[in-house]
Structure 1
Amino acid sequence: MKAQLDLMQAALDHINQGFTVFDSDLRLVAWNRGLSDMLDMPPEIIRRGSHLEAFIRVNAERGEYGPGDIEGKIGRRIERAKLFEPHYFERVRPNGQIIAVSGTPLPQGGFVTIYSDVTEERRRQEKLERTVEERTRALQQSEDWLRLVTDNIPALIAYVSPGPIFRFANRRYADWFGQSVASIAGRAAADVVGADLFAELEPHIDHAFKGNAVSYEYERKRPDGTKAYMRSTLIPDMTADGRTLGIFVLSLDATDQKQAEATLVQSQRMDAVGKLTGGLAHDFNNLLAILMGNLLSVSRLEPPLDKAELDKKLTPMLEATKRGSDLIQRLLAFSRGKAIDPQTVPLAQLVSNAHSLLEGSLPSAIVLEAEMPDRSIGARIDPTQMETALINLAFNARDAMPEGGILKFVLSEINLEKRTADDLGVPVGRYAQITVADTGAGMDEETRLKIFEPFFTTKTFGTGSGLGLSMVYGFIHQSGGAITVDSKLGIGTCLTLYLPYHRIALARTREAVTAGENDLQRGKGELLLLVEDDPDVANAVTDQLQNLGYAVLRAESAEDARSLALELPELKGVLSDIIMPGQTNGLALAREIRRERQDLGIALMSGYADWSGLSGQDRECEFPVLAKPFADDQLADTLQKILSRAI
C-alpha cells in the first residue's frame, strides 16, 4: 500500500501545477511539490493535518490579499471555504505572478484545489488585446482615410452584396440618390435607386453577379428637372473558387461628355448632309422637271378635257410631289438628329432609309445595292446615329472608288460562339450583322490598323476631319456591339457591324389589313375648324378635308379660331397650323381650346422639321402632328383618331 502511495505522490510531483486536497475539517490531506514551488509556502506548514487557516495567514501577512485588516481577511476566506462550493479566481501576487485557483468540492466534504501559474498566458493575452486594439485603431484610421479619399474622388463608388444590398457607398453616390452614407448601407438596391431605374439596371447587375465585368449607361432626372447621364462599370468581387461575394460599382457623370458627343455627332451629320445636298438637288430637279413638263402639257389641253388624258398627266405629278415630300422629311429628320436615344428598331428600315438618302448622291459610276432578306432583325440603338454611321461608311467607300464600282449593304444575323465573341470583345450570343462592302482601292495593313483612331485620315488636309470612323466605332461599341474591317489593296474593303440582336414583330401589310375595304376613313359631314394663315395652303387642305367628307370652317388667325371654337357647339374638331403670325402659336391655341372644350378633337400640322424651336415650345406635344405636305390617307387616319377620342 505504501508503495502505491509513493508512486502516486511521485506522479503528482511531476505535475507543473500546484495541488492540494483538504478534508471536511479544512485540514490538508494531500499535496504535491508544485504547491511549494509555485506559492513559496514555508515547509513546516506543508504537512498532513495543517489547517487551511495556516496557508491563508501566510498569504495575508505577506500582503498577497492587499492592505487592510489581516484577521478580517482570514476570517472571511475561512467562512467561504466552509461552504464547500465550486470556485475559480485569479490572484495577482506582489511579485506580479498571476495564479489561477480552481476548487472543486468532494462528495464527503472537503475540496480539491488546482493552482496554475497563468502569468505568461495572461501577458500574451494582454499583448494580443493591445495588438487587436492597435490594429482596430489602425483599421479605423485606414477606413477613415479610405472614406476621405473616396468621398473626394469625382466618382460614385459603392459595393453591393447579393440581394442586391448596398454595403458601402461614398458621399457622392449617396447624394446622387438622395441618401446619406449611413442610410444607404444595408438597404436593398431597388429601394435606393427606385423601382423604374432598378428595372433598367437589374439585367446588368444580374450579369455582374454571374462573374462578368459590365459597363452600361443610364439617364436620370436631377431634382431641378434637367437630365443627367451616368456611365457605370460593375466589377465582380470573386473568390478563388469562382464564387461572387459582391460587386464593386464605379459610376462617372457623363453628362458633359454626352453633350460633347452630341455636338460632334451633329457636326458629322451636317457634314454628311452637305455631301447629300448635291445628289438631292439632282433628284429635285428631276421631280420639278416632271411637274413642269406635265403642267405645261395640261395647260395646252383643249376643252372639253378628257379624264383619262388628264389622269395620265396628273398621276406622275402626284407621285413626284410625294417623292419630294418623302425626300425632304428624310433629310430633315437626318439633319436635325437628337440626343442619344436608344430604341429597339428594325435595321432593315434604317438601311432602307440610308439607301434612299444615298440614291442620287453617289456618282452614277457607283452601283448601290442592298440585301435585307429578313426584316425581323432589329437592335436597340439610336436610329439617327445608325443612319449617320451608314452614311459615313458609304461616303468613305465613294472616296475609295473614284472610277466607280459597287457599294453593297447586307443585313443578316449571326450566332457568335465564345472564341469569336472573345476576339470581338463582346458576350456570346445572337447578333445582327450589317456589312458595308465596296470594290474600291482597299487599304494596306498599316492604314487598316489606324482607321478608327481619332483624327486619322488619308484625305487631303482640310477635306476630312478624321472623326467619321472613330465616331462609328464609338457608337457601335457604346451600343454593346463590335466592328471589324477586312481590306485588300486593289480588291476593296468590307466593314462588318455587330449589334446585339432583337427580334422585330412584323406588322401585317396594309393590303392584308384593308383587303376588300376602302383605304380612306371618310367623314360624315362633321364640321371641322381649319386654322391656316396661308390662303393657298388653306385652299389645298380644305379640298382634302371636303373630299374626305367633312364640312370646313376656316380661320386665318388664332384669335378668330379661339372665338369660333368656343362659340360653335356643333363644331367637332380643330386642325391648326403650329407656326402662325402673332403672339399665339398653334400649340398654345390648341391647349387653350382643350381647357374650355374637351369634347373637341384637335390635331396640328407643320411644314417645319423642328417646329418646337420656332414656336418656343417643348416637344412634349399631347396632340397628333401632321408633317406638311401630307397624303389623304395620313389626314384621314389622324382625323379618325382625334374624333373618336373626343369626349
Structure 2
Amino acid sequence: ESDRSGSQQLYTTLVNHLEDVVFSLDQDACISFINPSISRLGYQPESMLGQPLARFLVPEDRPLLRSPRGKKEWRILDSHGKIHWFRVNMNFQTLSGVAVDVSLHKATEEQLLAAQKMEAIGRLAGGIAHDFNNLLTVILSYTELALEQVPQGIPVRQDLGEVLDAGNRAKELTQQLLAFSRRQMMTLEILELNPLVASVERMLTRLIGEDIEIHIHPDPGSVRVRADRSQLEQVLLNLAVNARDAMPSGGRLTLSSSSLNIDRERAEELDVQPGTFALLTVSDTGSGMSEEVQARIFEPFFTTKKQGEGTGLGLAMVYGIVRQSQGAIELTSTPGQGTRFRIYLPATSQPTPAEIPPSPPTPARGGNETLLVVEDEPALLNLARRTLKACGYQVLCAKDGREAIMLCQQEGQNIHLVLSDVMMPGLNGPDLISQLRPLCPQARFLLMSGYPDDSLAGRGVHEYLAKPFDAPTLREAVRGLLDLPTKP
C-alpha cells in the first residue's frame, strides 16, 4: 500500500511540474482535473474544476470535443480572451488528455505562409507591371511624337495632352506595383534621416488637416541609411496619409527616428541581417485595425476604404520599398486605440555627399552613328526605330537575339550602340550582350528594362533605360551614352 501511495505521489508531482497541460473530463465534458500548467493562460486550476471544457475553446473548435480521432489542434482562450493554439492528444475512452502549447510554432508557420503569399503576389504584380510598361512606352512615346508635329492652338493638341496625362497616371500605378514586387528602379544615396523627416513634416502640413497634431521626435544623434530619397519620402507620406484617414475626428500623428542594434535572433524574426539599424516610427491615435485587417494590410488592392476612395496599393508599395531597401516593417494596432508602424533600415557609417545643384535640362541632339535595336515587341521596335531615325541615326532592327547576332556578324564593326530589351524569348538581353561584345568592339550597350535585374550586374552594361519611357527620354539616354568618354 505504501508503494502504491509513493507511486501516486510521484505521478502527481511529475504531472504538476509538466509544462504541458494534463486534464481529465467527466461524462458531461466538464473538467474534473487539470494540472497547474494551465495557470500560464491566467486561470487557477481550482476555479476550472466542474466547468465545461467547451467554455474555454473558441466556438468554431467546440465540435472537436465530440470527434474522437486522435490528435487535434484546438484554439483555447486565455483569461483575457487571447487565442492560444494547442495540439491535443485525447483518449476518448478515459476522457483524459495532454495539450501541448504550439502557439509559437503556429505563429512562425503563419509568418512563413504570409511571406510566401506576398512573394507570389509580388511576382504576379511584377509580371503585370512589366507587360503594362511595354504598352505604356508605346502610348507615351507615340503621343509625344504626335505632340511634336501638332502646332499650338490646334484643338487635337489638347486631346493628345489628356492622353499623355492619363498615360503618366497609369505609369504611376505600375510603379506602385513594381515597388510592391521589389522590382522598382532605385536611385540609392546616403541619407541623413533627421533632415528627411523634417522635409516630410513640411509636406505633411499641407496634407494633414488642422485637427490633427503632428509631433516629430528626431534622433539626437546622426542616423544615416543608404536608400532612395524619393521612395523613402513616399513611404512616410503614405503612412501619414493612412493615419490621417484613420482619424476623421482629429488626433495625434507622431514621426520619430532612432537607431538600434539588432542581434541574430531578432534579425531572424524580421528577416534581415544582424547589425545596426535606423528605426523610423509612424504612429497615430486613430481607429486602429482588427487582426483580420492586419493580416492582409500589405496585400496589393486590399483596402478598407469605400469604393473609389483608394486603390489599395499605398501600403503594398510601402512594404515593397522597405523590403527592397533590405529593411523590415512591423505593424502593431489595437481597435479604438491607434496604429504604429516601425520601419527598420540598415544604418551606414558612410558620409553624405556634398549636394550638387542640378543642371538645367537641354534637348538631346541627334547624330549619324549606327545603332542596333533589339526588341521582341513589334510596336516598341518600330517606335525606337522611328524615334532614333528621326534624329539622324542609322538604325538596324532585330526582333530577337538570333537575328541580332546575324546582323552583328555582318555589320558589327560599324555599330556604335546596341539598345536591347532585357526580357526576350530565347536569348535575354544580358546574355545577348555577352555574345555581341566581341562582334561589336566599339559599341556601347543600353538595356531597356521594366525592373532592375541582379543578373545584369558584372556584365559590363553601361546603363539602364527604365520602362515606360517617352521619346525625349529615349533620345537623351542614347545620346548621353554615346557621348561618354572612351575608356583607355
Q: TM-score, normalised by structure 1?
A: 0.35
Q: TM-score, normalised by structure 2?
A: 0.44
Higher RCO, Cα 8 Å, sep 6+: 2
